[in-house]
Structure 1
Amino acid sequence: MRVTLCQATLGGAIVLNLLLLFCVWRGPGWRGAGGSPPSCRLPRGVPGVTVLLRDFEDFENDLVGTARSFASLPVPVLVAAEEAPYPPVPLPPGVRLLPLRPVAHRPPVHPESHLRTLHVALVPDGTRAVPGLLERMRDALEEEGAGHARLAVAPVGTGLPPRCLELRVEPRSWTARYGPPGEPGACGAVEGPAVLLLRTRDLLALPFPLARPVPAAIFIQAALRGWGLRVVPAAFPAPHLPPVSPHGRWKAEKLGENRRRQLMRDLGVKREVLEDGGERWYGCSKETARCFGTVHTRTPQYLLAGRWTPPCCLRALRETARHVAGALEAAGVRYWLEGGSLLGAARSGDIIPWDYDVDLGIYREDVGKCRWLAAAAAGEAVEDTEGFLWEKATEGDFYRVHYSRSNRLHVDLWPFYPRGGVMTKDTWLGHPQDVEFPESFLLPRVPMAFAGFTAMAPNNARAFLELKFGPGAIENPEYPNPDIKRLGQD
């Protein structure tokens, strides 16, 4: 028997009504097999685009206007926030709040249960909808030839195409680099406000899908995965809004700085290198603790995680080494680059990229010439005029100069003394390179480039290093403790 279109439609309507009656009859308290309530929700992957409003401030925003504009298309509109905005915002009918912060007396929040469409658009506050533009973005993302593109981008508030930037994220060096595109059309990030559209499954696969600021969070996570961007040559308008109050602008700037700093901490980025060569740093200062904990078996935790020394720590170590060398020279204390620090100077004129301190040897008889060293030798931890902390090490007869009282990045000062033409010392920590050496290496000492300044070093660095580390030490880099982690195993 042939079924007509009218009969098929009628049959489908009957089945749908029976399903709805079944759900109502069972009621919200009924639980199916295994104690779970049956699901009468639409299946995942409904065609369409959900608009997600995330980047806005509670105290001054255009949430109502933005939400009303996109809800008129109509598309599902969600306002995602840790909690309901305060002061309260009268959201238009049909616009729902997606609370992100768990509350002890309520069920846990699962964003995926609220995002039912195949695509999602992350829309900045103060954007107005354009009929059909979200669909154009979706089609641009899904069309043949999209290649590795997993994001579609359209600017907000201008008719000009957004300015593309290349974005390279280097996890091992904790660095994100922005620059001009290497080839026409290549794009890893865009400048200025923009609507970002991606597949819902891609958004929810990110470890930080709704982190703020949204563009930076999405672009960096996309770059780490090799995702490309497709720029749509059309723009969403932005309304002329009353100017933000000076106090509101100040609050927004401070909150933005804090959010970006937290985002970079979560993403493992300590430094952003901007297109113009400027830098943003998210790590060590004299007021903070250092970026890594106590080092065990000469292997810092970041090496086990496949990373090298955070660049902010290297910067602080360079500053500390320069300061200490200057203080020793001014006081007439004879010093020289030791161990891994000399090795780094011989290889590249800098600290080894995975090293976590700086080592200097000094003549023990010169300790009293420097007032900071003399105070440390007497058992007093003393902070010098520039905030560096000098103290005697608890592990033995040597000294440490810390970046600050809070930040314990440090330079170790090892007091050697001559005995029968051989330089020796009283504290040996069992490192393979911790050995005596002929004083002739220091007669005379010679200048050597290191960490952005000129330091003093043994007069035959190669012979000195091969005595300490073995033949080929300069040409064959290795991690401090190959038994724990070898270079090349990352």
Structure 2
Amino acid sequence: MRLSRCQCILIFAVLFNAFILCCLVFLQLRLENVNQEDVMVNVKSRKQGPVKVVKHTSSSIADRVTVVIREFEDFENHIGETIKSILYVYEDMRIVIVVDKAPYPPLTLPEDGDVKVVSLKISLDKHPNTSCPEQFVDTEFVLLVPDGAILTSPKQVEKVLSTFHSRHRDVGMVAAKVGGDMTSQCFNMDVNLKQWTLTYQQGGAAQDICYGLDGSHMILMRADDFHSLSRPYQRPFPRSLFIQTALRGWKVAQVPTSTIPAKKLFTDPHNQWKHQTRHDSRLKTMYKEFGIKKVGLSNGRVEWYGCRKETPRCFGTVVDDTPEYLYENRWTPPCCLQALRETARHVFHILEKCGARYWLEGGSLLGAARHADIIPWDYDVDLGIYKDDLEKCPPLNMLHEGSHTDSEGFVWEKATEGEFYRIQYSAQNHLHVDIWPFHPQNGVMTRGLWTQSHRQDVDFPERFLVPLRTVKFLEMQVSAPNDVKGFLELKFGKGVIENPQYPQPNKVHM
């Protein structure tokens, strides 16, 4: 039978399609055989030890993420094993190890792989950029990996990245739990730099979004965000990280049901003690660097990191009635306020016991009128006293013989700046209460000679003190003028209670 031209073309097309289909089937079978061989090699290699395996996602992840390792001890660590596990999963991953100074003994690191050790200690014979870890991070993300973490699958990092991209808008970090010894706990915190305080509050369950996490975690965040922090590499890490991100309102979300295995550290009691001692020292240094002097824990306990009775106060000599911290947009450190409260209560008890006629003066009375406490930016406590009553109180009457320290460590002295008396918190810490003697003259209370160092240094009618009344101050009933508002407006001007101002409002604004 003779075929037409159209029939010949149709038969040729069918045969050509069949040939293409056979080629595709052959290539598919060949590819499956290769994959099976890779799997067998991989399984065999796992029995012999880790080898590098290039995954399809390796290059894309490594192009987007730089691993940063910061917190570890030079005397005991598993940095080498952690890096090997990372390079096993992602052979092209860049790893930056940040150290305070060259570790001793030196770290044992893999010979291959893109691993850089960056010391924050500036060397005089090197370019300053060599001490800047951010110079070695040019990816979109940083993955902050703790010492001892062991990566076993690319899915661990992929899951963290996936969670980051699906995050809530106020989440700046995503964390995956490392190790299974400790339950991960969320916590919230309030960082108030103006008041030098940090307050921890218990957060929700581990999967909740909060400001920080206890325990060991692998943390992912954008590199630009990380390096925009004031002190991104401050130790102890990541506690310092969470404080800085909380101040900016960035939260952390934990990857649900995800735990990365880890090598155990500090099983030896001596090394455990050594690690804890260094941690406590770094914590103290961190709070000092951050300007945090009072830490309120979630269990109600308070830790103090500021001045004490045996140390100098937190600020130097006050010029123009304006402490230096006001120029830094901060108020009186809480440790200083606490010391002032203790000193004032001590003085009140003694004056009450002596039967002296005293009263709150100046800014101290103003603080009592506003909120029954010291003004948050004040640096001393001022009292007035009838000059004739000085002899009633031995601690004051004996000051003509020189200063003396009482049984509780408070120092009583006659001020060198003028005719008044000063009671200091201690010989080392000069936070103080000033007592200003007044005497009546023709119905007016006067000191006779004013130094005019404060705007409130003016005479006033004795009627404000006859009779004296009490006001609540520092959780006590303290002697005060009988017309508090009138007395304060005479000294400071109208509306002084309702309109707070700094001592020199033309220099420092609230």
TM range (shorter): 0.7 to 0.9
- Matching residue within 392, 406, 409 for 1:369: 392
Cα 1:449–1:377 shift into 2, 3 Å:
farther
Residue equivalent to 1:99? 119
Once the two structures are TM-superposed, the CA of residue 200 in structure 1 deviates from its matched residue by: 1.5
The superposition leaves residues 392-442 of structure 1 with CA deviations (integer Å, 9 ceiling, x where unpaired) of 222111122122222221111111122223211144232222211222322
- Maintained 8 Å contact 2:385/2:438: yes
Larger Rg: 2
C-alpha displacement of 1:256: 1.8
- 1:283 CA displacement: 1.0
**Per the alignment, in what secondary structure is the counterpart of residue 487 of structure 2?**
helix
Name the counterpart of 1:414.
436
Alignment CA distance shift 1:62-1:374 (3 Å): farther
- Looking at structure 1, the residues matched to 433 and 361 of structure 2 have their Cα atoms a distance apart, in angstroms, of 11
Equivalent pair of 2:151/2:261 in contact (CA under 8 Å): yes
User: Cα–Cα, structure 1 residues 240 and 186, in superposed 2: closer, same or farther, change >3 Å?
Assistant: closer
Give the corresponding residue for 2:86.
70
**Selected match of 2:348 from 325, 349, 356:** 325
Match of 1:82 among 85, 91, 100: 100
1:54 is matched with which residue?
Answer: 70
CA distance in 1, matches of 2:157, 2:403: 63
CA distance in 2, matches of 1:419, 1:98: 74
Counterpart residue number, 1:268: 291
- Paired residues of 1:159 and 1:235 also in contact (CA < 8 A): no
Q: Which has the higher helix share?
A: 2
**In structure 2, which of residues 156, 170, 174 is the aligned counterpart of residue 152 of structure 1?**
174
SS class of match (2:506) = coil
1:405-484 equivalences under 5 Å are 405-430=427-452, 431-484=454-507
Q: 3-state DSSP class of the match of 1:416?
A: strand
**How much does 1:180 deviate?**
4.0
Distance 1:257 1:287 in 2: 20
- 2:349 aligns to what SS in structure 1? helix
CA drift of 1:340 comes to 0.7
What is the TM-score normalised by the length of structure 2? 0.80
Q: CA deviation at 1:63?
A: 2.8
**Structure 2 residue identity aligned to 1:235:** T
Q: Is it true that 1:396 corresponds to 2:412 in the alignment?
A: no
Correspondence 1:266-305 to 2 at 5 A: 266-305=289-328
Structure 1 counterpart of 2:83, one-letter code = A
- 1:212 counterpart residue number: 235
Distance 2:427 2:86 in 1: 53
CA deviation after TM superposition for structure 1 residue 337, in Å: 0.8
Cα deviations across residues 19-41 of structure 1 (Å, max 9, x unaligned)? Answer: xxxxxxxxxxxxxxxxxxxxxxx
For 1:144 and 1:260, locate their aligned partners in 2 and report how far apart those are by CA, in whole Å.
Answer: 33
Question: What is the match of residue 28 of structure 1?
Answer: none
Q: Give 1:113 shift.
A: 2.1
Q: Which amino acid aligns with 1:412?
A: D
> Residue 439 of structure 2 aligns to a residue in which SS?
strand
Mapped to 2, the partners of 1:244 and 1:442 lie a distance apart of 69
Cα distance change, pair 287–61 in 1 and its aligned pair in 2 (3 A): farther
The percentage of aligned residue pairs carrying the same residue is: 45
1:375–1:253 CA distance, 2 compared to 1 (3 A): farther
Q: Give the aligned residue type for 2:177.
A: P
Equivalent residue pairs, number: 440
- For the residues of structure 2 that align with 1:266 and 1:485, how far apart are their CA atoms? 24
Contact 1:49 / 1:134 at 8 angstroms: preserved in 2? no
The residue type equivalent to 2:364 in the other structure is: S
Partner SS for 1:196: strand
User: 1: distance between equivalents of 2:307 and 2:378?
Assistant: 16
Distance 1:134 1:381, change over 3 A: farther
Q: Is the 8 A contact 1:376 1:391 kept in 2?
A: yes
- 8 Å contact from structure 1 (residues 119, 138) kept in 2: no
Unaligned runs of 5+ in 1: 1-44
Instruction: Please state if 1:122 is matched with 2:144.
Output: yes
The 1:182–1:470 alpha-carbon spacing in structure 2 relative to 1, beyond 3 Å, is farther
C-alpha change, 1:242 and 1:352, in structure 2 (3 Å) is: closer
- Determine if contact 1:137/1:197 at 8 Å carries over to the other structure: yes
**1:316 Cα deviation after fit:** 1.2
1:238 maps to which of 262, 269, 272? 262
CA RMSD of aligned residues (A): 2.5
Q: Name the CA shift for 1:458/1:201 in 2 (closer, same or farther; >3 Å).
A: same
